[in-house]
Structure 1
């Protein structure tokens, strides 16, 4: 119950700060993505349970991090992928920066990324896999900003329609509602 309330409160705050449509409107400026863990570049201090209940609800704690707003993500080189999502659905036009360009700013040192979505879904993906493909961190779909309540604030989009190595890829690594990415090196025990 507490987790649901936290998600609804967080979604309400972000939705109030986000444009309803992408049209000609500017990108929201508040932080929507936090990269943490084993990274080189940081621009914020530790997580604070009292002020950041969503991090607390998902057990996300860090001493420092690198944060991005939708506007800062939009300022990076934008790439477009036309692909069906969900798999087998209509083809849509997703756009945003390459995930590896976002990661280059934070400088991850781990071997994997644990991507966390607003609904609590987490997926740990080898960094090598992300770097080998033109994965984008989509912030728009069909020209509209991805919003809370939909696939936003960001969605991992893989070029499964044009990259032969990804042909037939399921939606498991297509994390939507992305708000946190941790650079980790999992124990191999």
Structure 2
């Protein structure tokens, strides 16, 4: 492979790499919808915090998940970023996430969940942005239909909606 092709290949694939995004974490312009803090290497605010607006999260790379949940009727299509990709962007190191909602409800999620399941931070349901009245702006969605073992009270409690912050512990 020539040097030119190798360099072009590296640039193209680096553009889509969440870990490189972390090296260039800029301050958000516009409304902040998520704050990540705790044991992270990449920040964009004082106090060791990384704040994200909607477009910053979308740039990480959105995924679609078709599943049912105990809180929605029928099968819905959710769209959002993989939790593990977001954590790569901030250089997270830890074993647990504390996910906190706008109303201060919080739940702990072990990072082992992210290795077993592609958990997403959904920002859309059936093509529509999630609003605060409808579990938004961010809703933790597990692949319930793919893994029957996820249909348990423990996992339901981890499926926080109206997510405001994530603390890496």
Determine if the TM-score, normalized by the shorter chain, exceeds 0.5.
yes
Distance, in Å, in 2 between the alignment partners of 1:88 and 1:136 is 16
Answer whether contact 1:146 1:152 (CA < 8 A) is retained.
yes
Unaligned segments of structure 1, at least 5 residues = 1-27, 46-62, 185-189
Q: Answer 1 or 2: which has greater helix percent.
A: 2
Distance 1:132 1:85 in 2: 18
Which aligned pairs between 1:138-177 and structure 2 lie closer than 5 A?
A: 138-166=122-150, 168-170=151-153, 171-177=156-162
* Aligned 8 A contact 1:29 1:71 in 2: no
Provide the secondary structure at the position in 2 that maps to 1:74. Answer: helix
- Structure 2 residue runs of 5 or longer lacking an equivalent are 1-28
Q: Deviations over 1:117-165 (max 9, x none)?
A: 0111100111121232100110100101111222111010000101355
Q: Calculate the TM-score normalised by the size of structure 2.
A: 0.76
Post-superposition offset of 1:87: 5.2
Normalised by the size of structure 1, how large is the TM-score?
0.68
Aligned length: 139
Extract structure 1 runs of 4+ deviating beyond 6 A: none
Deviation at 1:32, TM superposition (A): 0.6
Residue-by-residue CA offset, 1:149-184 (whole Å, 9 max, x unaligned)? 221110100001013553x23421110000100011
